[in-house]
Amino acid sequence: MRAASTEKNRMKARWQWLLSGGLGVGLIAGFLASFTMLALRFALGTPSLQEVLTDKLVSLMSPQTFEFLLQHTFHLGKALSVLGFTVALGIGGGLVGLAFVAALRQRLDAWDQKTRIAVGFAFGAVLWLLTVLVLVPLAGGGFLGADVPGGGLSFLFATLVAMVLYGVTLAWLVGEKKPVTSTEGALPSAQGMSRRAFIKRAIFFIVVIAGVGFGLRSIVSGITAATRTAKMNLRDAGVLPPDVTLTERFYVVSKNFVDPTVNANTWRLLVQGMVNQPLTLTHDEVTAMAASERYQTLECISNEVGGDLISTAKWKGISLRGLLEQAGLKDGVKFIAFFATDGYSESVPLDVAMDPEVLLVHQMNGEPLTREHGFPARLLIPGRYGMKNPKWVERIEAQSEEYTGYWEERGWDKVAEVRTMSEVLAPADGTTTTAGVYRIGGVAFSGAKGISKVEFSLDSGNTWLPGTLKLALGPYTWVLWTADWTPKPGRYKLVVRAADGKGTPQDPTPRSPAPSGATGYHSINVEVS
Ligand SMILES: Nc1nc2c(c(=O)[nH]1)N[C@H]1C(S)=C(S)[C@@H](COP(=O)(O)O)O[C@H]1N2
Ligand SMILES: [Mo]
């Protein structure tokens, strides 16, 4: 009877130990490792495993889902996904810890601390190999992280540090939590702790605090940056925007959790592939080349009807054609591909690339490009949606085959020609005012096709009146339109439509942005009392 209950208690103790010793310790080690991975992301500038996994998640989304997220919480979504994977890796660490202890239970008791730490080190190294040989390739990061943008050795190093930290912490803490079966197995008392043991502990706690602290900091800064972009007030409600958008109010779209910070001193522009003379240009060389300046509007292909992912700037840069001619194209070149620091890529057929109007720009509104708009250089192509204008360009490659770019691979239109659009921005949708004289207006854009006409309707599209067009700043910019309106009291649905330079009317069929850009007329509701 007594023996049976002792046996029961021992079983219970074992299970408790397994849970607290395996799962609990695994969770501590797991979270420590995943936070450390994030912390190293900022120290080394290499994307974390969490970002590689987030990229995979983004690439699995249909253009529709992606488009939906972009309109709502994409910027925050990327940060939340990184946070989610951080938690998932921590929990994964807990489960692996449980398995580790269950498998090695007997032996763990026999090993001394040194042996356990050595085993933990080896275990961490095995987990690292599994990560870079299996998990990362499955997540699209390539064998040994070869395709992790800006990754390379620092990515391997960061993941190795995190995994070894995990293994060692796990094996070490498991020993500390050995079940107390007799007095000799009890935890050493504080006075009994040797100087060396104390120092080891102190070092461990410093690592924990640094790892978790910096990891938390990077999550907070990622989320703060994301929230800032998501909340960016791109334009003032109810007023006509200026012809040229201030750089700080120019819309920002990127696939990244953290955008690359490129060092101008070490940056090189490579022109390679099927060329006679590959080029390697420094930042000084690129900015010293003959440049041209022009105004151009960019619009994201994900911009909804009436959306604000559209802005205009004055850009300055060098001719892509000039670069390609300097390198000398070989026979058989059909496509020019562009590769960016963040792993983004794009391509255009040769004839498009040879259009003398295609620029590699390094200035925006009279200043060097800002980081979020692609410092030090980005492509500027007339008539195409934003996605065809890669930022942070570092390599241009002449190829004989069609190359599928980042968003095209995820289902978006490979030509991505801007569809004619128009918006009514003044007054704001849902405005209630009193009778008076109003100037209404908005913008119209067709990429490189020009705008010949904007019309608006005050009666849901039954009758149309001409808007007045302001002279465009250039052939590739939006056009501001206005009209004077002296309404009588009532409810109005204001609708707008445009026609391109050839008079081709804007497509009235409502279509969401994915996969080739939104169509349909923009309208707003106004009440005049
Ligand atoms: N390297 C790189 N270039 C990129 C992207 C990106 O994620 N990475 N996003 C593209 C998309 S979808 C758009 S709409 C434009 C946005 O440019 P902007 O942020 O300067 O407005 O950049 C394009 N170029
Ligand atoms: Mo975009």
Which position has the higher pLDDT, 106 or 153? 153
Which residue intervals of 131-151 are DSSP H helices? 136-138
What pLDDT was estimated at residue 179? 47
Mean pLDDT score of the chain, rounded to an integer?
Answer: 89
> Does the Cβ of 338 fall within 6 Å of ligand 1?
no
**pLDDT for residue 334 is more than 70:** yes
pLDDT at 158 over 90: yes
Strand, coil or helix: 417: strand
User: Is 306 within 8 Å of 428 (Cβ atoms)?
Assistant: no
Q: How far apart (Å, rounded) are the C-alpha atoms in residues 278 and 181?
A: 71
514, 466, 440, 525: which is closest to 61 by C-alpha? 514
Query: Which is more confidently placed, 260 or 526?
Result: 526
More confident residue, 235 or 42: 235
DSSP 509: S
Chain centroid to CA 354:
30
Sheet with 479-485: list strands edge to edge. Answer: 421-426, 438-445, 479-485, 468-469
Distance CA 479, CA 450 (A): 8
Residue 69 confidence (pLDDT) above 80: no
133 vs 182, more confident? 133
Please name the residues in contact with 503: beta carbons below 8 A apart, sequence gap of 6 or more: 452, 453
Residue of 360, 391, 393, 406 to test ligand 1 pocket, by largest number of atoms within 8 Å of CB = 391
Ligand 2 centroid to Cα of residue 68, in Å, is 13
For a ligand 1 pocket test, name from 67, 75, 252, 253 the mutation site with the most ligand atoms within 8 angstroms of its C-beta.
253
pLDDT, one tens digit per residue, over 458-485 is: 999 999 999 999 999 999 999 999 999 9
pLDDT at 70: 64
Ligand 1 mean position to 442 CA, how many Å? 24
Torsion of CA 148, 149, 150, 152, to 10 degrees: 30
Residue type for position 61: M
Which amino acid type is present at position 110? A
Give the single-character DSSP code of 307.
Answer: -
Q: What is the mean pLDDT of residues 322-346?
A: 96
Residue 255 Cβ contacting ligand 1 at under 6 Å: yes
CA angle 292, 270, 137 (to 5 degrees): 125
Mutation pick for ligand 1 pocket among 232, 249, 254, 298 (CB with most ligand atoms within 8 Å): 254
Q: If you ran DSSP here, which 8-state letter would residue 527 be given?
A: E
H or E segment and range at residue 39: helix 25-44
* Banded pLDDT at 72 (limits 50, 70, 90): low
**Is the predicted pLDDT of residue 7 greater than 80, yes or no?**
no
Q: For residues 49 and 127, is the Cβ–Cβ distance under 8 A?
A: no
CA distances 241 to 76, 244, 349, 442, 482, Å, are 26, 8, 34, 8, 11
CA distance 3 to 77: 57
Token pair for 145: 């992280």
Instruction: Provide the CATH topology of domain 247-410.
Output: Sulfite Oxidase; Chain A, domain 2 (3.90.420)
DSSP string covering 436-494: S-EEEEEEEE-TTS-EEEEEEESBTTSS-EEPEEPPPSSTTS-EEEEEEE-PPSEEEEE
Question: What 3-state DSSP class applies to 398?
Answer: strand
Top pLDDT among 420 and 117 is at 420
- Cis ω before 466 (30° cut-off from 0): no
How far is Cα 432 from Cα 416, in angstroms, rounded to an integer? Answer: 38
What is the tens place of the pLDDT at every residue in 377-419? 999 999 999 999 999 999 999 999 999 999 998 889 999 999 9
Q: With pLDDT > 70 as the criterion, what percentage of the chain qualifies?
A: 92
3-state DSSP helix/strand/coil % of the chain, to nearest 5: 45, 20, 35
Q: Please give the share of the chain, as a percent, with pLDDT higher than 90.
A: 63
* Alpha-carbon Rg for the chain in angstroms: 30
Going by C-beta distance under 8 Å and a sequence separation of 6 or more, which residues neighbour residue 130? none
421-528 in CATH: which number? 2.60.40.650
At residue 180, the pLDDT reads 45
CA 275: distance to chain centroid? 32
State how far the Cα of 320 lies from the Cα of 501, in Å rounded to an integer: 26
- Residue 26 token pair: 């695994």
CB 219 within 8 A of CB 79: yes
What gap in Å lies between CA 386 and CA 297, rounded to an integer? 9
Ligand nearest to the CA of 378: 1
- Any ligand 1 atom below 6 A from CB of 25: no
Contacts of residue 190, Cβ cutoff 8 Å, sequence gap at least 6: none
Is residue 454 over pLDDT 50?
yes
Sorted by where each begins, the domain ranges of the chain are: 2-226, 247-410, 421-528
- Give the count of beta carbons closer than 10 Å to the beta carbon of residue 218: 23
Task: For residue range 361-377, list pLDDT tens digits in order.
Answer: 999 999 999 999 999 99
Q: Ligand 1 centroid to 305 CA: how many Å?
A: 19
pLDDT, tens digit, 9 for 90 and up, residues 215-253: 787 777 777 777 777 667 888 999 999 999 999 999 998
Q: How far is CA 288 from the centre of its chain?
A: 31
Range of lowest pLDDT (32-46, 187-201, 426-440): 187-201
Give the pLDDT of residue 130: 96
Is-contact 75 51, C-beta < 8 A? no
| Between 468 and 202, the higher pLDDT residue | 468
Residue type (1 letter), 464: W
User: Cα(first)–Cα(last) distance of the chain, in Å?
Assistant: 90
